[in-house]
């Protein structure tokens, strides 16, 4: 799964982009902390980092 795929997944779950200065930061209206993704959009996100990111975003079963 690439950084772009993760962003699309988060946006489909109600997350909105807030910042794009070398990293992608997304926030959700009902969840307390923002999620930050580093790297170019075409880079593949490692499996462990993806699991941690989805857990932090409170999204289950997408890996």
Boundaries of domain holding 20: 3-56
Q: Check pLDDT > 90 for residue 59.
A: no
pTM (two decimals): 0.83
Integer Cα distance of 9 and 26 in angstroms? 11
Residue 61 lies in a domain: no
Q: Check pLDDT > 60 for residue 63.
A: no
pLDDT, residue 33, reads 86
CA quadruple 50, 58, 9, 63: dihedral sign = positive
Q: How many domains does the chain have?
A: 1
Integer Cα distance of 36 and 26 in angstroms? 6
pLDDT, residue 62, reads 59
pLDDT tens for 27-58 read: 998 887 899 888 888 999 999 999 999 998 88
**CATH number of 24's domain:** 3.30.920.30
- Which residues sit opposite 38 in a β-bridge? 23
**Residue 61 CB-half CA count within 13 A:** 1
Residue 44 lies in a domain: yes
Residue 33 lies in a domain: yes
């Amino acid at each position: 799964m690439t950084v772009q795929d993760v962003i699309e997944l988060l946006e489909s779950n109600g997350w909105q982009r807030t910042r794009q200065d070398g990293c992608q930061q997304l926030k959700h209206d009902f969840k307390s902390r923002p999620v930050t993704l580093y790297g170019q959009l075409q880079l593949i996100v490692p499996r462990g980092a993806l699991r941690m990111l989805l857990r932090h975003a409170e999204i289950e079963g997408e890996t």
